[in-house]
Amino acid sequence: MEKQDLLNKVFEKILTPDEAEQVLDYYLEHLTVADPPIHEMLGFSVKEWTAYAHSTPLDTIAEWRVNGWPNQCFVCKKEIVSDNYGWFPREYEGKYGLRHIVCPDPAISTV
């Protein structure tokens, strides 16, 4: 199995998101324990793979890679630093965004 950069192929529209999903499925079925982890084989960062594992569409993740990740929680509107964890992606008002797993309690965060 060959390493490739799947998200880049989606961003460049070399693959549609559906085709990229098929590539992903193929790798999942055919990788062996001797191969590197699938996210490495397909050029995902751990953060990108985490978003994918939470069902974020591949074209959305590809766009975040190029144009920047959301940096605000769509629930509480406070900052999210996507390089730190404690968030998960969800569809919100027709597009994907990030939200805290547990939004900071304003009463606690001002202490």
Asked whether position 100 contacts Zn ion by CB under 5 A, the answer is yes
Report how many residues bind Zn ion under the rule CB under 5 A.
Answer: 5
Q: How far apart are CA 17 and CA 6, in angstroms?
A: 10
14 vs 75, beta carbon nearer Zn ion: 75
Q: How far is the CB of 105 from Zn ion (least distance, A)?
A: 10
**Structure token digits, residue 95:** 């597009």
Q: How far is the CB of 20 from Zn ion (least distance, A)?
A: 30
φ and ψ at residue 59, rounded to 5 degrees: -70, -30
Residue bearing tokens 């594992």: 53
Residue 90 binding Zn ion, by CB under 5 A: no
- In whole angstroms, give the CA distance from residue 64 to residue 89: 12
The residue whose Cβ lies closest to Zn ion is 73
CB of 76 to Zn ion, least distance (A): 3
User: Reduced to 3 states, what is the DSSP secondary structure of residue 90?
Assistant: strand
73 binds Zn ion (CB under 5 A): yes
Between β-strands 87-92 and 95-100, what pairing exists: parallel, antiparallel or unpaired?
antiparallel
Which spans of this chain sit near Zn ion (rule: CB under 5 A)?
73, 75-76, 100, 103
